[in-house]
Amino acid sequence: MSIPPFPAHQAREGRFVGTIRSLRPHLENTMRYMLLRRSDPAHEAGLPISPARRAALVAYTGAMADAGILRACEHLLPSASGVRLSIANGRVTRTDGPFAAAHALIAGFAAIDVASKGEALEWAARWPPGEAGAAEVEVRLSGCPDGCADVHAAEQPGASGQRYAILLRSSVDLENEIPVARARLDALDAHNAAEARAGVLLGADGLRSSALATRVRLASGKLTVVDGPFTEIKEMIAGYWLIRAPSLQDAIAWATRNPYPVGPPVEVEIRQLAELHDGAAVFTPELRAAEQHMRTHQLDAGMRAQLAGAPVPR
């Protein structure tokens, strides 16, 4: 498989910031992949991005939108604003961020529909690197091993509240894709559908075992591709829910009562997603223009959204 080098104008910059909405529904004869951008100290510190990085990010996400593959893009705020929950037998243990080991955290992600894993890897290899010239992107096949229903988010223009990602931490059972009882999956599907109709749930999906995953790393100008499975199970994500909630406390309450298809115990990480108003240093006129470009591009193609309000990864 041929992995193209980073374009020269993108090689200096590298984490996604901003908000870009994809209006492309899932197409037949494609596979959905999640490109998970691992964090770094600059992201965790909330440092502003440079104009060159902004330009690289706009060009990269714009290229995905123009190619018709972009399903969603999200940028996560630093883990200092996040929490982790351990849920077991009616008890909830909360740990506030920030969390150690920036490389084990997710800074953002993109969901893309492509014809093959090779195509997904090529896009991952083009992800602009960070301020230090390095980047790590984990390419994961989306979906539930035992099948789960798609989430069809209700359109609610001008909805208030913050958006949060509920990231399900992996486990030995999830990594080994131990079958889940159909009754649990049916209960989850029903809950997801009700929350989506209420305008709370914006999107959700599972991620397959890391045995099917690959990591693409750029460091010191060298591109490295490492195939799974990976050993650091508790650092990996097995699925996610995107919700809209009035506050972090409401997001915690939602995550606590969510009928997870696994466990107990269940471990989740709650991270706030970036919005257009989160800071002028992040959301520039260029990024706003790129967002409008992609919305127009997809609407003209007759597409409509199933994931509401999607920003950009880091």
Q: What are phi and psi of 5, to 5 degrees?
A: -70, 165
Map tokens 């910059």 to a residue: 13
Would you tell me how many other CB atoms lie within 10 Å of the CB of residue 231?
Answer: 9
- Tens-digit pLDDT profile for residues 91-116: 999 999 999 887 789 999 999 999 99
Find out whether 251 and 245 touch, Cβ atoms under 8 Å.
yes
Cross-strand bridge partners of residue 224? 217
Find out whether 301 and 68 touch, Cβ atoms under 8 Å.
yes
Report the CATH architecture of 8-300. Answer: 2-Layer Sandwich (3.30)
Would you tell me how many other CB atoms lie within 10 Å of the CB of residue 211?
Answer: 13
The first and second tokens of residue 239, run together, are 């699925």
The first and second tokens of residue 22, run together, are 């994809």
The first and second tokens of residue 228, run together, are 């799974």
What DSSP assignment string belongs to 57-94? HHHHHHHHHHTT-EEEEEEBPPGGG-EEEEEETTEEEE
d(CA 17, CA 19): 7
The first and second tokens of residue 26, run together, are 């899932």
Helices (H), the chain: 41-44, 51-66, 117-125, 172-175, 182-197, 248-257, 285-300
Q: Where are the domains of the chain?
A: 8-300
Per-residue pLDDT of the chain (314 residues; tens, 9 = 90+): 434 433 332 322 222 333 333 333 445 688 999 999 999 898 899 888 788 887 888 899 999 999 999 988 888 999 999 999 999 988 999 999 999 887 789 999 999 999 999 999 999 999 988 877 888 999 999 988 877 778 877 766 667 889 999 999 998 999 999 999 999 999 999 999 999 999 999 999 999 999 999 999 988 888 999 999 998 888 899 999 999 999 999 999 999 999 999 989 999 999 999 875 444 334 455 555 554 444 444 333 333 333 333 333 44
